[in-house]
A and B are shown apart, each in its own frame.
Chain A
């Protein structure tokens, strides 16, 4: 059985958590500025956040909303995983890095930007933050497919004995952002049920 415990959607100028608008983008603020503001207002002390690219910042914030860590020391999770889908992947960072290497007279490649030129880094940042030691996967697909996600959850539950998954769509390009992250709990041996597949895909297609 797949149970959606919590979800966070960042789309355009609003962030919605479990159906409630939790934050709106201030007028004139860039996406990067807005995400930084959300992080600061959360009161967290996570210096690495400021070094992340915008894709990782967006994924990190949505994951925070769904995981709601309250304890000072987050417990390691062997039976948790991160599965994300994205169409742009790391293209936003790729373009920024490209700008640092195109001018022969101003050729200063940024190592800090380069490390984010892989789409799956956002999964790693979430996994590090929440001490998730299970699978981390990022798929590049043209659009979000609830069926693909469902199949991945089935695989994780049946083959990896995974119990908790942060999963969904995480897409950032330039100043545009669309994120839908879910925290789902998996219960064994009931995933193949056709009714549940329909219910799950209907719900996600509604949320996205």
Chain B
């Protein structure tokens, strides 16, 4: 799981253009939206694309995203259980 979390953080930094951030700067359990990284609605869409592109996970509806994108740790857990690639 640790390796997946690290990879995921790197993918998030690249996909969302989080300049000057390193994986170490992202707390595994910090909220991705609101406080935490302060991501916006377009970032949420990018995360949905990231899941499909890298892990073959298609989210059926936006409400799912709210649960899955709580934190990097929650995302990684969901990926580990649902990935197809």
A61 to chain B, nearest CB (A): 15
Question: Does A155 touch B at the CB level, under 8 Å?
Answer: no
**A residues bordering B, Cβ < 8 Å?**
36, 40, 47, 50-51, 108-112, 115
Interface set, chain B 12-34, CB cutoff 8 A to A: 15-20
B21 to chain A, nearest CB (A): 10
Count contacts between A and B, CB distance < 8 Å: 29
Nearest CB to that of A50 among chain B residues?
B19
Interface size of B as a range:
10 to 19
Q: Pick the contact of B42: A40, A50, A109, A112 (CB < 8 A).
A: A112
Counting chain A CB atoms within 10 Å of each CB, the highest count among B15, B38, B42 belongs to B42
Q: Is the interface of A mostly helix, strand, loop or mixed?
A: helix
Question: Does B45 touch A at the CB level, under 8 Å?
Answer: yes
With known contacts A111-B42, A112-B42, A115-B42, A50–B49 Cβ distance under 8 A: no
CA gap between A34 and B43 in the complex, in Å: 24
Q: Pick the contact of B49: A36, A47, A111 (CB < 8 A).
A: A111
B65 to chain A, nearest CB (A): 12
Q: Contact check, A108 vs B53: say whether CB atoms are below 8 A apart.
A: yes
Q: Contact check, B16 vs A112: say whether CB atoms are below 8 A apart.
A: yes
CA gap between A50 and B40 in the complex, in Å: 14
CA gap between A2 and B34 in the complex, in Å: 43
Q: Pick the contact of A36: B19, B45, B46, B53 (CB < 8 A).
A: B19
